[in-house]
Structure 1
Amino acid sequence: MTSALEKGTDSGSFGRRSDEKIGEAAQGREFVPADNIHDPDAGLSEEERAAVDRKLLRRLDWKLIPWLSFLYLISFLDRTNIGNAKIDGLQEDLGMTNGQYNATLTIFFISYSLFEPLTNILLKKLRPSVFIPIIMVWWGICMTTMGLVHNFSGLMAAGPDQKQRWWLGVAEAGLFPGVNYYLSCWYRRSEFGIRAAIFFSAAALAGSFGGLLAAAIAQMDGIGGKPGWAWIFILEGLATVLVGLVSYWMVHDFPDEAKFLSVDDRARVIRRLREDKQSSAEHESFKMSYFWASVKDWKTWAFAVIYMGCDGSLYAFSLFLPTIINQLGYKSTTANLLSVPPYAAAAIVTVLIGFIADRTRQRGLCNILICIPGIVGFAMLLGSSRPGVQYAGTFLGAIGIYPCIANTISWASNNVEGVYKRGVTLGFVIGWGNLNGVVASNIYRQDDKPRFLPGHGTVLAYLVLWLLGGSIVTRVLLARENKKRTMGERDHWAEGKSEHEVEMLGDRRPDFIYTL
């Protein structure tokens, strides 16, 4: 069957450019748009092209993934270290009530969530090598000054009219959605999941590393007249500022501008994305129509619901795990150290699920299956008072939550096409998920210790209703739409359109098949 896409477009012009532009590109004066891009591997055999492709992928991985993962480790460490500071005496030293402590957590998530939908637009306009260092230095300063406060008002406000935790949220809002969007502009859909999983596994490592680091830094108690928890903020904040400055040279721009690639390698990156029916690496002017296309797309809200289920659970877990373990009878340093193994297990499983989901392209099934241990884990926390059972529950909880974060972002990214539409969609999905940090910040109340039944029950509901239920419904709807496209029921969307107009349909192209 010949689809309307095949009848209504002229593929003969794809890949051609003039000899004049070839010469300019070869001299590095101009990078030719993908519509006129050459194939630097024309004439090579399939085996030779595959070898060139593997070499290019290895180079991209080494240039992009390690540093970006390191940045997210720092980001997650900085937003959750208040949990470690709490069990080292933060709340008592500042004379904070339980409600005031929860307010310091809540205000971060409000600003963090509100600004996330906008950050990918800024990332695209300012360039990653400029945008990411700016926000890192900003939040590093906020973090450092948190170690200089003497009361609740100081923790909330850096100045008479500025809310410190609020600005920490604003500054950090650009990193996670920005990097996921950025990576989706480099890799094919079947390659993105494992990279996103490695990147996000830094969050689990941050939880693991954070416990060790907090236990070590807390030993500085009394140095300079400051308590141990203050040094946690000061040292980690100063480290963030330093890393942010270095990031100007370590973070690379989008494929069409990346200086570490030759002109031919840039052509290869964009060509392989085009073959995957993506155009996200190329220049495109922002139009409000892209914003509204995301808002009106049912997939935006379906993935937002799923992400709400895993992200709300994630923040409840990461912010209060030291407190949960502390209530099992362990002292602060021991509690911080015992929080390390669950995070380490989560990091391993996160990368494993990313690999499996890429190979099988069954991201929905991966979500459905891996969230089950998380549900069992929180059922154990809810149903048993035995320390051994509860500690085992934290392992299952971590294993069931962390892999779903990266997998859901990959799933959403795989199914949204267009430079700005994908960026806006990821901003909405991640922003809505993080807004549930407001809930997570207030469900583990000191009044409910040592069992924290309302907290565990809320997380269990999030996992069952939104993560599991949302993943099942979304996968069914995507499979139904794929069937219609395969049967040719969507071919009329492309009738009478030029190749460029069909490309602008993005994920509404009749030949764009959704990842299940």
Structure 2
Amino acid sequence: MEKQPASPSASDPEGSIATDEKRPKFAIYNPDVDTSGVDEQKLIRKIDLALIPWLSFLYLLSFLDRTSIGNAKLYSLEKDLHITDKQYLLTLTIFFFSYAIFEVPSNVFLKRLRPSIWLSMLMFFWGIMMTLQGLVHNFSGLMGMRWLLGTFEAGLFPGVNYYLSCWYKRSEFGLRAAIFFSAATVSGAFGGLLAAAISKMDGIGGKPAWAWIFILEGLATVLAGAVSFWIIQDFPDTAKFLTEAERTVVIRRLQSDDQFSAAGEHFKMKYIIMALKDWKTWLGMVVYMGCDMPLYAFSLFLPSIINQLGFTATPANLLTVPVYAFACIITCGVGFLADRWGRRGYLNIGFLCLGAGGYIILIASRNAALSYFAVYMATCGIYPVISNTISWVSNNVEGSYKRSVSLAMVISFGNINGAVSSNVYRARDKPWYPLGHGLVLMYIVIGITASITYLLLLKRENARRDRGERDEIIENQPDTHDTRNEKNGRYATVEEAKRDKGDKWSGYRYTI
């Protein structure tokens, strides 16, 4: 007879169910497939090599393309296009509207189509938009290209995070998400170096340095998008680089981690509605907002901030390199610790507090060296928190379509706040930008408050499940036939309850 799972052990940092013996059994995926010859550790390394390097490279290009306008600005972009500082800020702002609008529908398409087709297509077209950005001659042309760039870039970041969550256990996802996102920090460092190098082409073909930055980076993206069709793998149940036995092991280990939908899930509108009605989606949006607006403010204006501290264009770009290198290290370190120790919420709160300290110094400081030091502290409240928040939200949503929509909504709402970041570092506030730093600090405080609230509510919900307040009536389990359980649903088997309710199932434990 199947039994309801025992409460998670205190030593389990992820809050998941303690042992396989205590969890209810589900129908074995591909029961006729012999998996005895598959080495699980070697299989994970094989998956890592097939997925992470190329996807990280694609995100490096993505982040480079969207933020290179900050580097290009230092090479007479505004003067050559005859645009004002206000118009420049509008070109930054418009990107975030199209970027946010298309994230949710893109994730639904990704689930229904093959990742190798959808992601490659998006990348190819945003590369074209990036290239054309270097051919514009006025403000309206730049605005149009920035809108289209946001439209096609929208699907990559939420899509890849969702896609990776379909391959790894909850306790493995954080490090992979951190490595993937660390490409943004590498792009920040690489972007400064690349812009400094490309600037030497000023005047070639009658094009200024800023135009060549857009053109060459855009062409690289077009090429990468074209070859991605043959490099990007599809979902685990159809991935061609794995054998049937290896695909079976991947699905079974995910199901053992309470990812019940890993074997496949048919689209139903109710999954979308479940994501929309889940309080975790909405609160996760606020948590992510608290670090995502600071991310774009930081990446778009770091060269200008350093420039105003007394460094000219090329040195200012070069001085961004060690900042981003530090951000990369701290991001991957937090991802590793979160997977190893759990407690993603506590890590969020701690690093957001560090970031807040950095921005307090930036607001108060009138010393260039001290402000440059504070920038390093500021990265702690931005880069590691981005990937940790995505992992935290993903860990607490079950159901393939529900998770795809929840993640897209969280990331989309964070990105729409990027529009705010584009308008807070005004030219008239330089060199110390008190308004910009103050508003970023406000967002970080919002992130701290929302993280604490999210953590406490998850702990409260886990406690309710430990007390049996969420138990369902399971027809083949007489010990669950309590009238008080009727309100939580009636199901023939535990497996049916798991598939219907996802993370609302009484045996599911949330990651804190």
TM-score, scaled relative to structure 1: 0.90
1:167 aligns with 2:148: yes
Question: Which residue matches 1:26?
Answer: none
Do residues 233 (structure 1) and 227 (structure 2) align? no
1:485 to 460, 465, 486: 465
Tell me the equivalent position of 2:18.
Answer: none
- Alpha-carbon distance between aligned partners in 1 of 2:64 and 2:260, rounded to the nearest angstrom: 34
Match of 1:14 among 27, 30, 33: 27
- Give the aligned partner of residue 442 of structure 1: 423
CA change 1:508–1:249 in 2 (3 A) is same
CA contact (8 A) 1:5 1:491 kept: no
Q: Which deviates further from its counterpart, 299-308 or 483-492?
A: 483-492
State which of 189, 205, 217 in structure 1 corresponds to 2:186: 205
* Deviation digits for residues 155-207 of structure 1 (CA, Å, limit 9, x no counterpart): 12xxxxxx221111010000000000000000000000000000000000000
Alpha-carbon separation, structure 2, partners of 1:40 and 1:324: 59
Matched, 1:510 2:490: no
Counterparts of 1:491 and 1:275, CA distance in 2: 20
Q: For the structure 1 residues 86 and 12, does the alpha-carbon distance in structure 2 shift closer, same or farther, using more than 3 Å as the test?
A: closer
| Partners of 2:445 and 2:314 in 1: CA distance | 33
Runs (4+) of structure 1 moved beyond 4 Å?
A: 2-6, 10-13
- Pairing 1:173-252 to 2, within 5 Å after superposition: 173-252=154-233
Task: Name the SS of the counterpart of 1:121 in structure 2.
Answer: helix
Percent identity of equivalent pairs: 56
* Whole-angstrom distance in 2 between the partners of 1:351 and 1:4: 37
- Of residues 281-290 and 291-300 in structure 1, the stretch that sits farther from structure 2 once superposed is 281-290
Select which of 31, 40, 43 maps to 2:34. Answer: 40
Task: Kindly report which structure 2 residues correspond to 1:385-424, keeping only aligned pairs within 5 A, or say none.
Answer: 385-424=366-405
- Judge conservation of contact 2:104–2:405 (CA < 8 Å) in 1: yes
The residue type paired with residue 215 of structure 2 is I
> What's the CA shift string for 1:90-126, capped at 9, x where partnerless?
1111111111101101110000001111111111122
Is 1:356 aligned to 2:337, yes or no? Answer: yes
Cα deviation 1:60-98 (Å, max 9, x = unaligned): 101100000000000000000000000111111111111
Give the equivalent residue in structure 2 for 1:142. 129
**Which of 456, 459, 464 in structure 2 is aligned with 1:476?**
456
Range moving further from structure 2, 122-131 or 227-236: 122-131
Identify unmatched segments of 5+ residues in structure 2. 7-22, 473-487
1:477-504 CA distance string (max 9 Å, x none):
0011111111211113364343234322
> Considering only aligned residues, what root-mean-square deviation do their CA atoms show, in Å?
1.7
1:496 aligns with 2:491: yes
Q: Verify: 1:93 aligned to 2:80, yes or no.
A: yes
Counterpart contact for 2:424–2:439, Cα < 8 Å: yes
Equivalent of residue 46 in structure 2, options 44, 47, 59: 59
- Give the Cα–Cα distance (whole angstroms) in 2 for the partners of residues 278 and 374 of structure 1: 33
In 1, Cα distance between equivalents of 2:370 and 2:303: 16
Q: Distance in 1 between matches of 2:414 and 2:32?
A: 41
Cα contact 1:418–1:506 (8 A) shared by 2: yes
Cα contact 1:87–1:332 (8 A) shared by 2: yes
| Aligned partner of residue 281 in structure 1, secondary structure | helix
Unmatched 5+ residue regions in structure 1? 16-33, 157-162
Q: CA deviation at 1:151?
A: 1.5
Using the alignment, how far apart are the partners of 1:123 and 1:88 within structure 2? 38
Which letter does structure 2 place at the counterpart of 1:40?
D
- Cα deviation code 1:338-394 (max 9, x no counterpart): 011111100000000000000111100110111122111111110011000110111
User: Residues 264-315 of structure 1: CA distance to partner in whole angstroms, max 9, x if unpaired?
Assistant: 0000000000000103433322221111100100000111000000000100
Letter in 1 for 2:439: T
Q: Note if contact 2:497-2:505 (Cα within 8 Å) is conserved in structure 1.
A: no
1:345 and 1:395 in contact (8 A); partners too? yes
